[in-house]
Amino acid sequence: MSKIDPNKLLISSDFYTVQGEGISSGVPSYFVRLGICNLTCGMSRAFANMLAKEQKLEDGEIFEGDLHKEGKATWTCDSTSQWAWRGEDKEFQYLIDRWKEQGIYEDIKNGTIHLIWTGGEPTIKGHQEAIVNFFNYWYKQENRAYPYHEIETNGTVVIEDELFNNLDQINCSPKLTNSGMTEKQRIKPEAIKRIMEHSNYQFKFVISNEEDVKELFRDFVVPFSIPLTKVVCMPGLDDAANFEERTQFCLEMAKKYKFRGLPPRELLESSKLMSEYIAQLLLRENRSVWIAQREGRTKDGNDATHSGVLKMLAMGSDEKNIMNYFKRIKIVPVSISYEYDPTDALKMPQLMAEAKEEIYIKEKNEDFITLLSGIIGQKKRIHLHVGKVLDEEIDQICAENDNTNKQIQALAQVIDDAILQTYKLWPTNYIAYDLLFKTDQFKAFYTENEKSLFERRLEMRIDETNPQMVEGFLAMYANPVVNKMKYENAG
């Protein structure tokens, strides 16, 4: 692999267009394609080296690699002609001048046009350093630049802190067996886990058949606990002729396995419509809207605000400064807790499947049945705490952060702090904690009779001989205690 100069950008091509894939589909974007890739999808390394040496491919030419022809892959990288040898070291000023020439500099500077780093593989060590050095160079000229940075990666290289902390969105496209790459080449657990530490990420997979879908669950979704809301699948296309057929297949798989298969542009429009409707209710009709912090909270009892929820809300704003919009809509943290979860046993099949690293497919109407049980089921005592409007907190966030992504992350943390500090714990929570961790640390907060009743519920609702099931059941009730302890003595 060629050595990359970290003080320049090795650019194969750069262009202004509209993002056509994933959660940012439809957004005006400026792509910076960097040269060199650590994978050769659809090709052997020897074949890729031959292409680089001969340099006979036309710019953008689509072809079949040797592994693709031999049936060891079902597709070939469509940007090979760009990253394999086309690339020239550019001074940092090059991009800034290009943007000014095209009249889009201000829009990139304020994040209206997304800046997307792609490749090749832009997370290769030299590229990471070069991108960060470009940021530093640019921000010295523009101390009030608030660009929206996306990066497109294959998820095989760990993104270091300096670059990671400057990214607003990570688009990861892990490779499956259909790429022709070996498991050792394409699956790097430490790189995948790093991506999932970011507040805004997505995993995009290319699928050609149902075996590909099963593989992405087996190798990625289950072992790394990737939320299905973060999974987007795209059809593997050999040519334009089978576009409709492959797209329909992708949508059918999305319905069956519950990942995102909605055409990206429709997905974006759906989110924008929802955010505008919420804005209408709050600002024009003076009504309240109750929004969950994230999807799936009640499966494990952990409360954490997903920044994507806040970004979705912000899509309804007509202001450049979204923190002003958050002040206008008057965010109020609310904590609600109840003594017993009427759906605790209903969650066990999915938790068990995940523990066994199996694909879990919901039964027909399962979500509706769970929702209905949650509404009408016996909860016993309930506690509701309504906090105060976040106003001064937002002012403080703005004073301490001038980067939009960091402001949203800080707001999510403020909401979490407010909810967890006012969350009421019940005897069932303390009992579950002591049983799970085999301690009597909180025995002063429940009676022997309350403990007996909880143990009886445990015995009646799940298989006590299954340690994974017992642990999952107890954790649902114990996790609120664990979270509360981060702020104060849970007692």
Cα(66)–Cα(43) distance, integer angstroms: 5
Whether residue 57 is predicted with pLDDT greater than 80 in this model: the reply is no
Which is higher by pLDDT, 137 or 300? 137
- The torsion angle over the Cα atoms of residues 178, 180, 185 and 188, rounded to 10 degrees, is 0
Over the range 257-266, which residues count as b (16 or more CB within 10 Å of their CB) and which as e?
A: bebbbeebee
DSSP E strands: which ranges in 328-425? 334-338, 382-386
Q: What pLDDT sits at residue 306? A: 78
Which is higher by pLDDT, 187 or 375? 187
Q: What pLDDT sits at residue 9? A: 96
Whether residue 99 is predicted with pLDDT greater than 90 in this model: the reply is yes
Minimum mean pLDDT range among 39-48, 91-100, 271-280, 389-398: 271-280
Q: What pLDDT sits at residue 491? A: 61
Cα(82)–Cα(48) distance, integer angstroms: 12
Among residues 269, 266, 242, 241, the alpha carbon closest in space to that of 254 is found at 266
- Stretch 374-384: mean pLDDT: 86
Cα(114)–Cα(111) distance, integer angstroms: 6
The answer to whether 379 touches 339, Cβ cutoff 8 Å, is: yes
Residues near 144 by Cβ (< 8 Å), separated by ≥ 6?
402
- Stretch 353-367: mean pLDDT: 60
Query: Measured in whole angstroms, how far is the alpha carbon of residue 158 from the centre of its chain?
Result: 16
Tokens 């690699």 map to which residue? 65
The answer to whether 192 touches 220, Cβ cutoff 8 Å, is: yes
- The torsion angle over the Cα atoms of residues 379, 383, 384 and 387, rounded to 10 degrees, is -150
Q: What pLDDT sits at residue 365? A: 65
Q: What pLDDT sits at residue 490? A: 59
The answer to whether 353 touches 392, Cβ cutoff 8 Å, is: no
Whether residue 467 is predicted with pLDDT greater than 90 in this model: the reply is no
Whether residue 359 is predicted with pLDDT greater than 90 in this model: the reply is no
Q: What mean pLDDT, rounded, does the chain reach? A: 85
Q: What pLDDT sits at residue 267? A: 52
9-262 fold: TIM Barrel (3.20.20)
Q: What pLDDT sits at residue 362? A: 57
- For residue 155, whether the previous peptide bond is cis, meaning omega lies within 30 degrees of 0, is no
**Every domain of the chain and the residues it spans:** 9-262, 267-484
Whether residue 129 is predicted with pLDDT greater than 70 in this model: the reply is yes
Tokens standing for residue 379: 């909860």
Whether residue 240 is predicted with pLDDT greater than 50 in this model: the reply is no
Whether residue 137 is predicted with pLDDT greater than 60 in this model: the reply is yes
The answer to whether 407 touches 397, Cβ cutoff 8 Å, is: yes
For residue 12, report the phi and psi dihedrals to the nearest 5 degrees.
-85, -40
Q: What pLDDT sits at residue 460? A: 87
What are 151-210's pLDDT values in tens digits?
Answer: 999 999 999 999 999 999 999 999 999 899 999 999 999 999 999 999 899 999 888 888
What are 253-283's pLDDT values in tens digits?
Answer: 888 887 766 454 555 565 677 788 888 889 9
Q: What pLDDT sits at residue 236? A: 65
Indicate the pairing of strand 149-153 with strand 169-172: parallel
- Stretch 390-413: mean pLDDT: 90
Whole-Å CA distances, 69 to 38, 43, 209, 399, 452: 21, 9, 18, 58, 66
Which range of 229-233, 304-308, 315-319, 440-444 scores highest in mean pLDDT? It is: 440-444
For residue 318, report the phi and psi dihedrals to the nearest 5 degrees.
-110, 15
Q: What pLDDT sits at residue 478? A: 93
C-beta atoms surrounding 482 within 10 Å: 16
Q: What pLDDT sits at residue 1? A: 46
Whether residue 414 is predicted with pLDDT greater than 50 in this model: the reply is yes
Q: What pLDDT sits at residue 228? A: 85
Mapping DSSP to helix (H, G, I), strand (E, B) and coil, where does residue 188 land?
Answer: coil
What are 295-334's pLDDT values in tens digits?
Answer: 544 566 777 887 778 887 888 887 878 899 999 999 999 9
